[in-house]
């Protein structure tokens, strides 16, 4: 069945960057958008942006523009989300989700902890 498998937990220092991966399988990778959504501890869901294979057209939330880069490796059906200039408020679980009208499959989430 459709799977989105994300990379493992990360710990990063303030000011550094982190790169999270999301490997897709069991569906036609190029047909769906991949979105990134994050959830701070005890908080709600926050949309960060999306990317569309195969040409990697991106759409970033205004809040993250200049700090986030989403990319694709079509050879491995993997999407990457890199967030830079990290601050403590970026500590959250980061999810990828597949979408073509509705976000129907989600990755398991990647905990990113920003701490000195």
Partner 1 sequence: QAGLTQPPSVSTDLRQTATVTCNGNSNNIGFQGAVWLQQHQGHPPKLLSYRNGNRPSGISERFSAFRSGNTASLTITGLQPEDEADYYCTAWDSSLNAWVFGGGTKLTVL
CA distance 64 to 87: 12
Least distance (Å) from partner 1 to the CB of residue 103? Answer: 6
CB 94 within 8 A of CB 20: yes
Of 79, 112, 108, which Cα lies nearest the Cα of 93? 112
- Identify residues 21-50 at the interface with partner 1 (CB under 8 A): 35, 37, 44-47, 50
Give whichever of 60 and 80 is closer to partner 1, judged by the CB atom.
60
Please count the residues of this chain forming the interface with partner 1, following the rule CB under 8 A: 22
CA of residue 10 relative to chain centroid, distance: 13
59 binds partner 1 (CB under 8 A): yes
Give whichever of 5 and 16 is closer to partner 1, judged by the CB atom.
5
């Amino acid at each position: 069945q459709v799977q989105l498998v994300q990379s493992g937990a990360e710990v990063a220092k303030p000011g550094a960057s982190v790169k999270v991966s999301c490997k897709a399988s069991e569906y036609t990778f190029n047909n769906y958008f991949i979105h990134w959504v994050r959830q701070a501890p005890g908080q709600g869901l926050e949309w960060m942006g999306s990317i569309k294979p195969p040409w990697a057209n991106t759409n970033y939330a205004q809040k993250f523009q200049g700090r986030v880069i989403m990319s694709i490796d079509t050879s491995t059906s993997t999407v990457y989300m890199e967030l830079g200039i990290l601050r403590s408020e970026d500590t959250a679980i980061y999810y990828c989700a597949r979408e073509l009208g509705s976000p129907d499959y989600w990755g398991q989430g990647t905990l990113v902890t920003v701490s000195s």
